[in-house]
Amino acid sequence: MPNIPYHASNFGRYQGRSLQGSNNLSVSWPDIIWASISVGKLDLADVFGHHVFSFREHQMKYYLIYGNLMQCSGTICKTSLYNSLDATEKGFISYFIGMMCAKLVSTFLLRVPWLIHLEKYKMYYNNLGLVGKRYPDLIGLDRRGDWVVIEAKGRTNAFSQNAMNNAKQQTRALRHISGRFPSLRVATESYFDSCQPSALSIQVCDPDDYDEQAEDVPIDIGQMMKIYYKPFSIPPDIPARPVEVRNRTFLVWDDEEFGVSIGIDKAILKSATLMDSPENYSYILTQEIDTVVEIEEHNLRLYPDGIVVGCGEQWNEERMRLEPQRRFRT
């Protein structure tokens, strides 16, 4: 699996060696796909106002990954397609990668499986306020029910200290979440290191506490879970296949065009859809999935949020070392 080099700073030693100094985050292409589809600002249906786009949102993210990232000498780097984009297009891709990397950090380093964009919460539940200031992108939840605040930056080229300083400042703009202090405030920045070939890298920082003028936000766990799992509600016109694993049933749909399979624990989906009582989200929080579980017999990887992802031959490491236009010739 390729590595993403990262450097963590300002974290306490009690938070473990993985958050001290320079390390490598080992990820697979299914991990990257999962991170990209399970965090984001708005669905395509939200952006364009047409429900048909919601059926293509996952495919768009597969395409962004497949077309713009490749494996290089054990790391991940930009493709020639990425390099050919204009500045605006690169900015969009960088933002997308920044969000994806924040999700990888939150799950694999911070043990925070659930992450949503504040703007998305505001779209569904307009009770947050947060007008006229720069706030952090993301709110996260861990299995203990503790909140975290994360600001994600993405850079097309080298690391920017100015961007990191802005990220730190944004994490300070919230004080309480539902009456409680966040257990962590985290600033992340993804960028492409100046080495040859330039490798996707991440800086992770635990900034100082909140500002004196910081605001409080009322985030409801049940509402958050509904928003988080909404993109995984399978449209009725797309056939799903049941997969039985360790007394659990997963609903999986296959995208043969992109060679990707996405699924969700049926019981978790039901709980997330209802969310009419604390018992439903308690069921999700108490599922004992702390790390990625390989389901080899079904070519799937199970993630701590109950989502499964599998990739076909289009995504094997040999092909992902090639430029996108050459991958279909092998």
The pLDDT of residue 197 is 73
Alpha carbon dihedral 117, 118, 122, 127, in 10-degree steps, equals: 150
What CA–CA distances, in Å, run from 309 to 31, 33, 58, 228, 268? Answer: 8, 8, 12, 16, 16
Residue pLDDT, tens place only, 97-131: 999 999 999 999 999 999 998 888 877 776 666 65
Lowest-pLDDT range, 58-62, 241-245, 247-251, 275-279? 275-279
Q: Report the alpha-carbon distance of residue 65 to residue 324 in Å, rounded.
A: 10
The pLDDT of residue 310 is 96
Q: Which residue has the tokens 């299995």?
A: 143
Q: Which residue has the tokens 């308690």?
A: 282
Among 36-40, 51-55, 66-70, 231-235, name the most confident range: 66-70
Sheet holding 293-295, edge to edge: 241-245, 248-255, 260-265, 307-311, 300-302, 293-295
Residue 48: pLDDT above 60? no
Residue pLDDT, tens place only, 282-295: 777 777 666 788 99
The pLDDT of residue 330 is 52
Angle between helices 278-285 and 266-274 (to 10 degrees): 150
pLDDT band per the 50, 70, 90 thresholds, residue 275: low
What does residue 253 show for φ and ψ, rounded to 5 degrees? -120, 145
Q: Is the peptide bond before 236 cis (omega within 30 degrees of 0)?
A: no
Domain ranges for the chain: 3-219, 224-329
pLDDT band per the 50, 70, 90 thresholds, residue 90: very high
Angle between helices 57-68 and 87-108 (to 10 degrees): 100
Write out the two tokens for 242.
């049941």
